[in-house]
């Protein structure tokens, strides 16, 4: 087995995902970059500078004037797709980039092919301990040069090197081996829909909701294993809160385990954490796991509720 894939990165003209104006592609074979391509393009149905949002232009620097003589997305895609060679795709925050691809294909009435993909953001979260998993933070942690963030080719190259380094760090010789080791499933895009490349949770308690497919991977609850103890403020029931956790891609748990990353205490009082205080069983277990080195965040109910909105 080998580390073979194509890393992609889209930049868009505005807030709509079917407005791609640049695409970076980096092909990796046997764990080495062998090809790089940057494609500028006119977004589907774009007719002038009014289709380019000032906010997006400030981020990536691509204006209407730079792409007005470039081919449209459909033409670019038709030239790219035959050369993908059935390789899986990799993107940093794949929910965005695969979303751009899917919505652009739909917008232009193109057939959506079956493509497997995974996410270097999701896999980085499983192997690294960082304050943020945005691409510049991950690249810096792994000593990967990222000269110009939001340049489509630079970002695609950095995402490809992240996956290569993560395979080395996990001592595996394929992306499939990496995902298996990290308990992450492949994402898949088809003409009938798509599912995200997300963390599998074989320890999820029976009867609790499953994380929603294609949840926003940048949401603070995404991928978190969350236990609730005590009554939440207001009229929010525990069942409603667990449903919202799953909606945002979190994994609600009934009990504290070695996979727990967050304990929500509905009626937390600072005195509960004072030395000698009588603790609930869940709080006591969390403190014990924390003392053994496990990272578990304790969140008060009134701080947690805004995350469910």
Q: What is the pLDDT of residues 139-157, one digit of tens each?
A: 999 999 999 999 999 999 9
The predicted structure's pLDDT at residue 270? 45
Residue 206 is assigned to a structural domain of this protein: no
Beta-strand relationship, 32-40 and 297-300 = unpaired
Residue 204 is assigned to a structural domain of this protein: no
The predicted structure's pLDDT at residue 199? 80
The predicted structure's pLDDT at residue 278? 53
110, 229: one domain: no
Note the pTM of the prediction, 2 decimals: 0.69
246, 284: one domain: yes
- Count structural domains, the chain: 2
Span 223-270, pLDDT tens digits: 999 999 888 887 778 888 888 899 899 999 888 888 889 989 886 554
Residue 80 is assigned to a structural domain of this protein: yes
Q: Could you tell me where the beta strands, DSSP code E, fall in the chain?
A: 5-12, 20-29, 32-40, 89-91, 115-119, 187-190, 193-195, 225-229, 251-253, 262-265, 297-300
Residue 216 is assigned to a structural domain of this protein: no
Residues 6+ apart with CB under 8 A from 154: 24, 146, 147, 148
CATH of the domain at 38: 3.30.420.10
25, 173: one domain: yes
- Domain limits for position 113: 5-195
Residue 265 is assigned to a structural domain of this protein: yes
**Where is the domain boundary, 152, 173, 195?**
195
The predicted structure's pLDDT at residue 204? 43
Residue in the structure block whose two tokens are 């600072």: 270
Residue 58 is assigned to a structural domain of this protein: yes
184, 233: one domain: no
171, 244: one domain: no
The predicted structure's pLDDT at residue 207? 66
Residue 213 is assigned to a structural domain of this protein: no
The predicted structure's pLDDT at residue 131? 80
141, 245: one domain: no
186, 290: one domain: no
The whole-angstrom distance between residue 107's C-alpha and the CA centroid of its chain comes to 23
Q: How is residue 113 annotated by DSSP?
A: P
188, 237: one domain: no
Q: What is the mean pLDDT of each run of 10 residues along the chain (309 residues)?
A: 92 95 98 97 94 96 97 96 94 93 93 95 90 92 95 98 97 95 92 83 59 84 90 80 90 88 75 53 82 86 85
d(CA 304, CA 20): 35
51, 188: one domain: yes
The predicted structure's pLDDT at residue 205? 41
91, 191: one domain: yes
167, 285: one domain: no
CATH of the domain at 295: 3.40.50.10190
Residues 6+ apart with CB under 8 A from 215: 95, 196, 198, 222, 247, 248, 249
Residue 240 is assigned to a structural domain of this protein: yes
């Amino acid at each position: 087995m080998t580390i073979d894939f194509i890393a992609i990165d889209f930049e868009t003209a505005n807030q709509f995902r079917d407005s791609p104006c640049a695409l970076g592609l980096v092909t990796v074979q046997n764990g080495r970059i062998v090809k790089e391509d940057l494609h500028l393009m006119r977004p589907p149905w774009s007719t002038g500078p009014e289709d380019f949002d000032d906010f997006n232009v400030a981020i990536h620097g691509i204006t209407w004037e730079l792409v007005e003589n470039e081919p449209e997305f459909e033409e670019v895609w038709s030239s790219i797709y035959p050369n993908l060679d059935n390789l899986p795709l990799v993107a940093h925050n794949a929910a965005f980039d695969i979303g751009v691809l899917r919505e652009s294909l739909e917008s232009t009435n193109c057939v959506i092919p079956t493509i497997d993909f995974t996410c270097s953001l999701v896999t980085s979260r499983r192997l690294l301990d960082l304050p943020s998993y945005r691409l510049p933070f991950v690249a810096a942690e792994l000593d990967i040069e990222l000269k110009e963030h939001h340049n489509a080719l630079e970002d695609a190259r950095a995402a490809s090197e992240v996956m290569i380094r993560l395979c080395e760090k996990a001592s595996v010789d394929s992306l499939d081996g990496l995902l298996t080791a990290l308990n992450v499933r492949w994402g898949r895009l088809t003409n009938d829909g798509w599912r995200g490349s997300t963390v599998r949770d074989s320890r999820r308690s029976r009867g609790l909701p499953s994380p929603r497919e294609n949840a926003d991977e940048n949401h603070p609850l995404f991928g978190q294993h969350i236990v609730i103890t005590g009554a939440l403020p207001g009229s929010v029931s525990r069942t409603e809160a667990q449903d919202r956790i799953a909606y945002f891609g979190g994994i609600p748990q009934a009990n504290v385990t070695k996979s727990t990353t967050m304990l929500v205490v509905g009626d937390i009082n600072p005195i509960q954490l004072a030395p000698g205080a009588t603790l609930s069983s869940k709080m006591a277990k969390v403190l014990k796991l924390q003392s053994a080195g496990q990272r578990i965040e304790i969140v008060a109910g009134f701080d947690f509720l805004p995350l469910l909105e």
